[in-house]
Amino acid sequence: MAKFLENMVNRKFRDIYRHLESNRLIKGKSDIAMQLGTYNHVINSILKGKRNITVDQLNKLIAKYKINANYLFGGSPEMIIGEESAAYRAVDEAFYSGRMNITLVPYKAVAGYAMQRQDRDFIDSLQQFSIPGLEGQLIAFEISGDSMFPTITNGDLVVCEPLERGAPLKDNAVYVVVTDVVVTKRIQQIRENNRVVRLELISDNSSMYKPYTVELEDITQILKVKSRLTTSGIN
């Protein structure tokens, strides 16, 4: 249970819940559960630190109650968009101007990303946020499954830097590789005549998931994993 209580996003959700309830913006757990597409007992478990809030629930929370995504990830003191004091706004805008630099791809949108990542309308439809210390235009993917356990676990977010085609890669490092699907794996470069022609994709949970290879020409994008947002914070 402790790891759920330590989760920064879960703590922020509890603060948001108290704010919404005290300002009579919700009528209780059943009300917010309905808005987030879940159940009363799920909200109760999150508030008690027995489970994590999901990315899908966060997206609905942000959209319904105008929650500042930067607040959830510790990047801004402003909880509700447009409600901070003039003094806070001046500091916040000066410090965070242009910092909405991380595009969040929740698990349900990952398949769409593989096929539509060059579609501006698709990308613009995704939530954006920032994390102090992470610069540049980045992509965060919600991880589903246990193929990279224990390095990356189900529900983690991996924050990634898109690489230019032909950029040097590092064997045994973790990357997100996009073909007609999106996977997070360690890589080994396979060369022919000193030229990389394919990648071997390796799961850390090797007892359950065997390595496999993909041709370099079938890869549409490679992203370097810079950090991950886990149940206990940013790593």
Has residue 181 got a pLDDT over 80?
A: yes
Q: Could you give the angle at the alpha carbon of 146 between the alpha carbons of 151 and 133, nearest 5°? A: 40
Distance from the Cα of residue 211 to its chain's centroid: 25
How confident is the model at residue 88, as a pLDDT?
38
Residue 154 identity? N
What is the model's pTM? 0.64
Q: At what angle do helices 55-65 and 8-22 cross, to 10 degrees?
A: 30
Domain assignments of the chain as residue spans, ordered by start:
2-96, 102-234
Crossing angle of helices 40-47 and 8-22, rounded to 10°: 120
* pLDDT at 132 (0 to 100): 67
Confidence of residue 216 (pLDDT cuts 50, 70, 90): very high
Separation CA 141–CA 202 (nearest Å): 18
Q: Per-residue confidence at 39, pLDDT binned at 50, 70, 90?
A: very high
pLDDT score of 65 more than 50: yes
How far apart are alpha carbons 100 and 128 in whole angstroms?
A: 6
Q: What is the mean pLDDT of residues 82-100?
A: 45
Q: What is the pLDDT of residues 200-215, one digit of tens each?
A: 999 999 999 999 999 9
Q: Are 216 and 197 in contact (CB under 8 A)?
A: yes
Does domain 2-96 correspond to CATH entry 1.20.120.530?
no
In this chain, the answer to whether the domains covering 2-96 and 102-234 adopt an identical fold is no
Amino acid at 9: V
Q: Would you call 50 exposed, middle or buried from its count of C-beta atoms within 10 A (0-12, 13-18, 19+)?
A: middle
- pLDDT top residue among 6 and 177: 177
- C-alpha–C-alpha distance, residues 168 and 172, integer Å: 13
What's the DSSP call for residue 80? B
Which percentage of the chain shows pLDDT scores above 70?
A: 85
Please report which confidence band the pLDDT of residue 63 belongs to, taking 50, 70 and 90 as the band edges: confident
Whether omega before 150 lies within 30 degrees of 0, making that bond cis, reads yes
Rounded Cα distance between 57 and 39, Å, is 11
Using omega within 30 degrees of 0 as the cis cutoff, is the peptide bond preceding 106 cis? no
Q: What would the pLDDT profile of 92-123 be if each residue is shown by its tens digit? A: 443 344 457 889 998 888 889 999 998 989 99
Of 147, 154, 125, 162, give the one whose Cα is nearest residue 55.
154
Q: State the pLDDT confidence band at 86, using cuts at 50, 70 and 90.
A: very low
Query: Which residue's structure tokens are 């942000």?
Result: 62
Q: What is the CATH number of domain 102-234?
A: 2.10.109.10
Largest Cα–Cα separation, the chain: 68
Contact between 130 and 99 under an 8 Å Cβ cutoff? The reply is yes
Q: At residue 51, does pLDDT exceed 90?
A: no
Contact 160, 226 (CB under 8 A): yes
